[in-house]
Structure 1
């Protein structure tokens, strides 16, 4: 059997691929969509697996196919391919709510295996749970609503690379904060700063979002505490930016350079996600509305 995916994951895959035993029966409604025998065969063919139901029925044939795939020498890769296929939102264009039910069902089974499915920029990703962490999860949920193209691209780039390419993950974490700041400035109809690196961008959004440490409207009893937190925003951003410069791959990677510890990359992603979520929620509270969908970060800024 697969070394990565437990039998519980195989069972969950059977549920979401077949959609249940009987369409239109009195049993619980299918998870995902009901697939007929030919459609199940086509589904596996799209995953690169030649599956035939033959004289069997849909559910037992699907179970056997998944077990055989998991037992193959590249079983982990095959099962991963199947998971991403059945979790792809494009499989459920006619019934988009089904896509969320499928991911939830699979994620319950994947949790004990330390894995999770998340969708960014309309594409499913299978990631290590420790790669996202509790801090980034709310930010990912926010992205599903905001649909920031550039922001989603950066988080999608960062998550899978924490262990395999921590340098690229750090670069993407920094780009994530930059993309959020640009998007907010554009929504505020403010010009981008002359210095468009992460340090310049965070300074540009602090004052219009009333996050500047120099603000004078703070209650005396918490004034010093709030100033310290707001000053910390700048420190966090400076740290992420410096880490990208010295340890990321934005400026190339010299031969023989020491690799970043994935723990450091994970810290940068969590910090970037937490900060970005705070900036977005601050903008929403200030404007008394949610950031609109399709806020294109690369359009020309409005002139003053």
Structure 2
């Protein structure tokens, strides 16, 4: 998390308590505060400690560009510190956001606390009606969409990748149950699950009635599903990671999962709409 010098100066003043509405921190309290984030400073007993706000600003400059900076801001806005001094934390959050927005970040409420998130991530959502009849699967779909957006915004890129795969898993499980009430329990084989759903949705690349270009795209979807499974294993947080993912890796995984899910749901809705109704074979309530 990289902040401008303007924001560093403001946050240093806020953490020191030199801004109206912010809790005051003495020199020893500032040393203790920043030592929570890797500092090893000792408050000098014989004097020589710099101006409190200057110390806070210098410590922020040391941490600038590191992911821990988000936690520094979250801790500085701990509502309990404001409550102790009978101060309004929401007013302080508004001032912080007035500065952070110029750096592409904002502070949002998270339960009883506050957390920093990116402004530029954008909304993660499915464009088509994304509903399945299995209630628990629907909850999983909605939850994974929400977590993809949250984790991208919070900088949890491994978590975002994990939820991207989980989104595709839950979408495929839900669609399969729509077409086959006796479908086998999911065994973790994402590509096998996709191939079963592929048949239900008539998306097999070897169909004879489709163009070569469409066949190539449908074949590519198999590779996309395999890629999501592999990148989650190497970069997700569900296993020991082989690589540390960057923001663009996570965005690729999330938006690929969303695009694929959109396509699958739109195809499902189309197939179900064109399915002919079951004829009524009863006369007077009795089978003919």
TM-score category by the smaller chain?
0.5 to 0.7
TM-score, normalization by structure 2? 0.52
Structure 2 partner of 1:267: 252
Shift of 1:129: 5.5
- 1:229 aligned to 2:214? no
Identify the structure with bigger relative contact order (alpha carbons < 8 Å, sequence gap 6+): 1
Based on CA coordinates, which of the two structures has the bigger radius of gyration? 2
Cα deviation digits, residues 232-268 of structure 1 (max 9, x gap): 1101111111101111121234xxx642111101000
When the two chains are superposed, the root-mean-square deviation of aligned CA atoms in Å is 3.9
Structure 2 partner of 1:182: 173
Structure 1 partner of 2:150: 160
Q: 2:228 aligns with which of 240, 263, 273?
A: 240
Structure 2 partner of 1:198: 190
Shift of 1:80: 2.1
TM-score, normalization by structure 1? 0.50
Structure 1 partner of 2:94: 70
1:131–1:159 contact (8 Å) kept in structure 2:
yes
2:175–2:268 contact (8 Å) kept in structure 1:
yes
Shift of 1:150: 0.6
Shift of 1:226: 0.7
1:178–1:198 contact (8 Å) kept in structure 2:
yes
Structure 2 partner of 1:172: 163
Aligned residues: 182
Shift of 1:184: 0.4
- 1:212 aligned to 2:207? no
Shift of 1:145: 10
SS at structure 2 position matched to 1:260 = coil
SS at structure 2 position matched to 1:212 = coil
Give the gaps of 5 or more residues in structure 2. 1-5, 8-78, 275-288
Cα deviation digits, residues 189-225 of structure 1 (max 9, x gap): 251377542211111100110101011222xxxx100
Give the gaps of 5 or more residues in structure 1. 4-46, 51-63, 86-124, 290-304
Taking a change above 3 Å as real, the CA distance of residues 237 and 129 of structure 1, as seen in their structure-2 partners, is: farther
